[in-house]
Amino acid sequence: MADTQRQRLEAREEAILAAATAVFGESGVDGARMAEIARRADVAEGTVYLYYKNKHELLEAVVDRFWRELTKGAIAAISEGATVNQQLHELASYHLQSLIDDFKIVEITSRARMRNGEPGRQLPQIREYVRVFDAIMQRGIDLREFSADTAIWQIRDVFYGTLEHSARTLVLRKQDFDPSVIDHLMRLFDQYAPTSKSDVTSGLESSEIMQALARIEAKLSQH
Amino acid sequence: MADTQRQRLEAREEAILAAATAVFGESGVDGARMAEIARRADVAEGTVYLYYKNKHELLEAVVDRFWRELTKGAIAAISEGATVNQQLHELASYHLQSLIDDFKIVEITSRARMRNGEPGRQLPQIREYVRVFDAIMQRGIDLREFSADTAIWQIRDVFYGTLEHSARTLVLRKQDFDPSVIDHLMRLFDQYAPTSKSDVTSGLESSEIMQALARIEAKLSQH
DNA sequence: CATTATAAATGAGTCGTAATCATTTTTATG
DNA sequence: CATAAAAATGATTACGACTCATTTATAATG
């Protein structure tokens, strides 16, 4: 029964993580007591330290899991065949709604970034989460919906920065999700549409078409 | 000499605040020792508690002063007679540069917002700081440079949200101030011009072609 | 199934630090 | 100079994160 043993350990780790998430959320990082987390996970205080080296690592695990789940949710929230604009809209809505719903955990994220006095390591799971946006944007550029010289990282900062601030604004005002925030944000993306001038049907464009056709031909010959 | 007495007390408070700013910046909030702050301010540990009720209130005072100074600096950085766009540019530059220079203290700000477990009280001095932006925007609307139905609070979230995220990105990449970030942000503000440039018929055709090709590719990959 | 070895769990005890408070020192007042 | 009030001190307390000697559960072996 080496398998059930492993499962029991995993269940325990999960119980600790769940308890920690709850307590951190309710009391904040400083207010959270390791004793309380242990009590809710139904283990002794020392046991927590068998799974996580210290309070900060436990915090990191909680935050890490949160963003991993968020990534899953984001991918699920995006319609596969939709237009780039539609997908951005879906991602923005999902993101804003999540930030509002789990405001407490989101706030705690900044705490997990701090290691000792040094600020801002990138958390791996946030990097992963951001890839969802990057993939949509890249597709937008490939599809010529956005001009090719678009600096994705700058737009990403606009996208996430705006939504984060908007979420804070809404929560502080005790308001719910506001669709106008999304509409407003999406309108900014019109900025990145390729210039409406005559280079639309130029030689560069046709080479892109030929490249795509070549890829299709290559795929066809595989069958 | 009731006046010199008062001055001595103020000097002491200032010494404690300066010491706290330094130590919080160097070691982070958790790493900062009240004993170290007292030592650097050249007072006994108990004395600190005569001026600030506890560590958190001291932190709040440090953050509060930082944003008060920032407000002063912002107002000084803006040219009185300049155009609205020029002023926004100046404010954005000043803000981004400050966020980069004092990244540590800025990060600590989120910590000061937390009171017990409850997140996000507005810090009064940040509210004050934000007014600088609001005033410029209001002037822009009054001068008909921005359309009247512009929701200032949403644009404010774009402005500060983007700059905050950009600053983090730059600092993590160990890059300095990047003017292209400002230019990029300022271009977004064209959106709010009353004479909308967005109703020009643009080259939708090419993106439609590319989308069609992408759909074909996607279908092919399924086999 | 009994025995031993190994892994996991326990919680009383240690240790560091924020905060307190009885005592001392300084300052203001007449 | 005497006295009261204010300010400052630092030894002491309180509390919570973390440790570790001991106990309990699980796996391995003949």
pLDDT digits (tens, 9 = 90+) for B1-44: 446 778 888 999 999 999 999 999 999 999 999 999 999 999 99
A30: domain CATH number?
1.10.10.60
Q: Do B171 and B184 lie in a common domain?
A: yes
Residue of A nearest to B127 (CA): A169
**DSSP collapsed to 3 states, chain B:** CHHHHHHHHHHHHHHHHHHHHHHHHHHHHHHCCHHHHHHHHCCCHHHHHHHCCCHHHHHHHHHHHHHHHHHHHHHHHCCCCCCHHHHHHHHHHHHHHHHHHCHHHHHHHHHHHCECCECCCCCHHHHHHHHHHHHHHHHHHHCCCCCCCCCHHHHHHHHHHHHHHHHHHHHHCCCCCCHHHHHHHHHHHHHHCCCCCCCCCCCHHHHHHHHHHHHHHHHHHCC
Residue A6 (CA) to nucleotide D5 (C1'), in angstroms, measures 69
A169: domain CATH number?
1.10.357.10
Chain B CB within 8 Å of residue A23 CB = no
Residues of B in contact with A26 (CB under 8 A): 117
Long-range contacts of A10-18 (CB under 8 A, 24+ apart): A12/A41, A12/A43, A12/A47, A12/A51, A13/A51, A15/A41, A15/A42, A15/A43, A16/A41, A16/A43, A16/A47, A16/A48, A16/A51, A16/A52, A16/A58, A17/A58, A17/A61, A17/A62, A17/A65
Q: Report the percentage of chain A scoring pLDDT > 90.
A: 74
Q: How many domains does chain A have?
A: 2
> Which B residues 113-132 touch A at CB under 8 Å?
113-114, 116-120, 122
State the smallest CA–CA distance between residue A149 and chain B in angstroms.
12
CB-based contact B96:B166 (threshold 8 Å): yes
Give pLDDT tens digits for B41-59. 999 999 999 999 999 999 9
Phi, psi of B115 (to 5 degrees): -120, 120
Residue A209 pLDDT: 55
Q: Do A87 and A146 lie in a common domain?
A: yes
Q: Do B99 and B11 lie in a common domain?
A: no
Q: Do A91 and A159 lie in a common domain?
A: yes
Residue at the smallest CA–C1' distance to nucleotide D9: B44
Contact check, Cβ <8 Å, B122/A181: no
Interface test with A, best of B36, B109, B197, B213 (most A CBs within 10 A): B213
Q: Do B17 and B60 lie in a common domain?
A: no
* Angle formed at CA B69 by CA B16 and CA B172, multiple of 5 degrees: 90
- Of residues B166 and A4, the one with the higher pLDDT is B166
Residues of B in contact with A168 (CB under 8 A): 120
Residues of chain A with pLDDT under 50: 1-2, 196-205, 207
Give pLDDT tens digits for A136-162. 999 999 999 998 888 999 999 999 999
Residue type, B168: R
Residue B133 (CA) to nucleotide D15 (C1'), in angstroms, measures 45
Residue A182 pLDDT: 98
Q: How far apart are CA B129 and CA B159, in angstroms?
A: 13
Chain A CB within 8 Å of residue B161 CB = yes
Collect all residues with Cβ–Cβ distance below 8 Å to A172 and sequence separation of at least 6.
Answer: B120, B122
Q: What range does the domain containing A179 cover?
A: 61-197
Q: Residue B48 half-sphere exposure, CB side, CA atoms within 13 Å?
A: 26
Chain A CB within 8 Å of residue B83 CB = no
Q: Do A78 and A156 lie in a common domain?
A: yes
Residue B208 pLDDT: 54
Give pLDDT tens digits for B111-165. 999 987 787 788 999 999 999 999 999 999 999 999 888 899 999 999 999 999 9
Candidate from B27, B181, B218 with C-beta closest to A117: B27
Residue A188 pLDDT: 93
Is residue A15 assigned to a domain? yes
Chain B CB within 8 Å of residue A217 CB = no
Lowest average pLDDT, out of A158-172, B22-36, B77-91, B205-219, goes to B205-219
Which residue in B15, B24, B64, B21 sits closest to B44, CA to CA? B15
